[in-house]
Chains A and B, each alone.
Chain A
Amino acid sequence: MAGSWWDRDRSQDHTAPNPNVRHDAYADIDFENNAQRLPLVLCLDTSSSMAGLPISTLNDAMRMWAQELHDDVSLSASVEVAVITFGGIGVRAWRGPQMLAPGQPGTPFVPAHAFHAPQFEAAGVTLLTEALDMAMQIVAERKQELRAAGLQYYRPQICLMTDGLPTDTEGQLSDSWHRLGPVLAAEQEKRHFRLYAIGVGGISQQGLDVLRALAPAFHAHLHGFPFKQLLAMMSASANAEQKGAGDEVFEKIFHQFRTQRSAWES
């Protein structure tokens, strides 16, 4: 009985009940769901050093992770994903698979159940500092939007991934990241977000020193490009946040990740 009503509705009833309300998956705030949100920002290095296997591995891992998010009954209720890339034509925000033009209105955050992975290409310089600036900015803006809608949020997570050293727009090594250290420390002291900084591939000791300075408690060096594990760690951390876990739990999750040797931890 119910089925027949719906079949009829699906084929004919394009006007019901209010044609002006669009059920766009990218509507700024997912209307039907007013669960407490968990904003998650992936801040990814797509500079030229990531060309080839690394970037294709990243693309594959992102696609699989998006599917895992869809299938995760708990996380899909509250996680919202935004992606920032630094490389190519500069620092860009992505709304799901769509790259946003600078200044384009609308939030880059997409509800987990509607998130589809972008397809990245590797090129250009490593504007790491500018990317983190943008990450902090979109998180602050998102919080404001959510508050205005009467929606609460867990502590946002920002995950920085790079295989190089911060540069300027000319590709010259840059010291501009120095000014971020105190800002990031102060913001995290106020529990405004949690920053994970992960070095991958052939990142140099100097590159790791930068990550250590940016994220004293949550920085790591992963051999190769284990993006699948990296994204799984972000999910585990999101789970812990949803549960209201204490800082020590996050350190445990991260420590496990950092010292991982076997394939047992997903």
Chain B
Amino acid sequence: MTERRVRVGTEELRVDELAAKGGGQASVYTLTDRPGTVVKLYREPQGPDQERRLERMLGLTPLGGRPTNSSQPPELAWPTGVVRGLDGAFLGYAMQRFGEPDHIPLIGLFTRAQRLRWFPPRTDWKFLLGVCWNLAFMTARMHHEGLVIGDFSSNNIVVDGNGFVTLLDCDSIAFTDPGSGEHFPALMQTADYSAPERQAGGPATEHTDNFALAVLIYQLLTVGNHPFGGVPHGSSSDSTIKDNIAASCSYVVQPDKVVTPRGMIEPAILPPALLTLARQAFGPGVRSPAERPSAEDWLRALDLERGRTHTCPERPRHSYGFHLQACPWCTRAAQSGQDPFNPPPAPAPMPPPVPADPAAEPEDKSLITPGILIFWAILAAMVIAVIVAAANG
């Protein structure tokens, strides 16, 4: 098999054969000799604009002064080098690797199966609240520095076991090069997170980021429910989230307009201050970009809630907002049989799993041993009796 080599800076590196992640525009590959680095290679030759964009990005250190806490990963998977073929052709860029199992796409927090598989055992609603805070913090800092995320989605953000977030695909953000003054617009978008004006072809702005941020925060706090889910009443046509966004049709604001998604978590799971922001974003904010809460608005409200959650005394992984009197997750489990945070009970016909606790073993032996002793004692007595009988016979 032919070996593929690329040049990053002055170094020649081997690219692994199979893509770690593929998309429509580019694929991300690991490097044979650099486990901590990946290269994103575009599927098609890129024009000079994209190459210049990457060159300019290398000269910037956004969200400068990396986190002081070394356990925290960088907030941006910023390009670390331009990747060229051995002939010098521009192919893509290199960046630090943020892959599984340490870094999981945010969408992995939206379903119980994935949460239980990838995240620490105690992952609960308070953890999700903390992830929201980190997202809002990152967004606020980027906006403060004049950066627009543009393609802000549950696949472009990865989260680690401590809830720290990192933005991938930084090559698609919008920014202005401070040296030349040249503006680079955001190129990509994801339909489920695109504000109506962006869907209609408008540029990415802080306001379109604020829309995506509101959707992501809402999804996290409702363990995965999209605020523009649901099928409009009487609709017989194909129905998508994108359509509901364009029609400003959110059940968070107007629950009567749609058949709400089966198994929906009630919006009131959000503490009142956060629900107010969500209603602002998914009500008037849909059509009026300036009315959407900013990342800072979210940050302030989230900060307050982080300090006053309740922990359920009945079950693990159950925490909830200060505004609720009883554990909403226990209520849901009792009503529907679905506990969004804990694994389902083992199916009844299955034998109970072998105890994983090695300390249990000697205990079991001590229980079984007397039985075995009695068995052997009886058997021995019988054998002796037979021998005696035979001898006597």
By a beta-carbon cutoff of 8 Å, the part of chain A in contact with chain B is 1-3, 5-7, 9-23, 29, 31-36, 71, 73-74, 76-77, 113, 143, 147-155, 191-192, 232, 235-236, 239-240, 242-245, 249-250, 252-253, 256, 262-266
Contact of B346 among A10, A243, A249 (CB under 8 A): A10
Assess whether A36 is in contact with B229, with CB atoms less than 8 Å apart.
Answer: yes
Kindly state the separation between the CA atoms of A103 and B154 in the bound complex, as whole angstroms. Answer: 39
Binding site for A on B (CB under 8 A): 1-2, 4, 17-19, 22-25, 27, 43-44, 100, 104-105, 107-108, 110-114, 118, 121-122, 153-155, 189-192, 194, 224-226, 229-231, 235-236, 238-242, 244, 258-264, 315-317, 333-334, 336-340, 342-348, 352-353, 355-357
Whether A34 touches B27, Cβ cut-off 8 Å, given contacts A1-B316, A14-B348, is no
Are B264 and A34 in contact, with the CB atoms below 8 A? yes
Is A154 within 8 A of B240, CB to CB? yes
Inter-chain contact A155/B337, CB cutoff 8 Å: no
Report Cα–Cα, A11/B345, bound state, in Å. 9
Pick the residue among A12, A242, A262 that contacts B2 (CB under 8 A): A262
Given contacts A21-B336, A192-B238, contact A76 B44 (CB under 8 A): no
Looking across the interface, which residue of chain A has its beta carbon closest to that of B20? A266
Whether the pair B260, A150 counts as a contact (CB closer than 8 A) is: yes
Distance between Cα atoms of A239 and B362 in the complex (Å): 51
B168 to chain A minimum Cβ distance, whole angstroms, is 12
Specify the chain B residue showing the minimal Cβ separation from A147. Answer: B231
Q: Is the CB of B44 within 8 A of A31?
A: no
Of all A-B residue pairs in the complex, the 8 with the closest CB atoms, nearest first, are A244-B191, A21-B337, A2-B316, A34-B261, A18-B337, A150-B259, A23-B344, A149-B262
Which chain A residue has the least Cβ–Cβ distance from B104? Answer: A73
Alpha-carbon separation in the docked complex, A148 to B110 (Å): 22
B210 to chain A, nearest CB (A): 19
30 residue pairs of the A-B complex, CB under 8 angstroms, read: A2-B122, A5-B315, A6-B316, A10-B346, A18-B334, A21-B337, A21-B338, A29-B262, A31-B338, A34-B224, A34-B263, A73-B107, A77-B107, A77-B110, A77-B111, A113-B114, A150-B261, A151-B261, A151-B262, A153-B238, A154-B240, A236-B22, A239-B24, A242-B192, A243-B23, A243-B153, A243-B155, A256-B43, A266-B19, A266-B22
The answer to whether B18 and A266 have CB atoms under 8 Å apart is yes
A143: chain B residues within 8 A (beta carbon): 238
Flag if B239 contacts A147 (CB, 8 Å).
yes
Q: Please state if B343 and A14 are interface contacts (CB–CB under 8 Å).
A: no
A77 and B19 CA atoms in complex are apart in Å by 21
Most buried by B among A73, A240, A249: A73
A32-B340, A73-B105 as given contacts; A16 in contact with B24, CB under 8 Å = no
A149 to B113, CA, bound (A): 21
- The smallest C-beta distance from A218 to any residue of chain B, in angstroms, reads 15
Q: Which of B18, B22, B224, B347 has the most CB of A within 10 A?
A: B22
In the bound complex, what is the Cα–Cα distance between A191 and B237 (angstroms)? 10
- Please measure, in the bound complex, the distance between the C-alpha atom of A250 and the C-alpha atom of B316, giving whole angstroms: 44
CB neighbours (8 Å) of A1 from chain B are 316
Q: Which residue of B has the minimal Cβ distance to A246?
A: B24
Min CB gap B350→A, angstroms: 9
User: A11 touching B353 by the CB < 8 A rule?
Assistant: yes
CB distance from A221 to the nearest CB of B (A): 21
Tell me the complex Cα distance, A6–B355, Å: 12
Name the residue of chain B whose CB is nearest to the CB of A244: B191
Q: Are B17 and A74 in contact (CB under 8 A)?
A: no
Q: Which interface residue of B113, B114, B192, B343 has the most chain A CB atoms within 10 A? A: B113
Q: Chain A contacts of B108 at CB under 8 A?
A: 73
Question: Considering the chains assembled together, what is the distance between the CA atoms of A153 and B192 in angstroms?
Answer: 12
Within the complex, what minimum Cβ distance (angstroms) separates B303 from chain A? 26
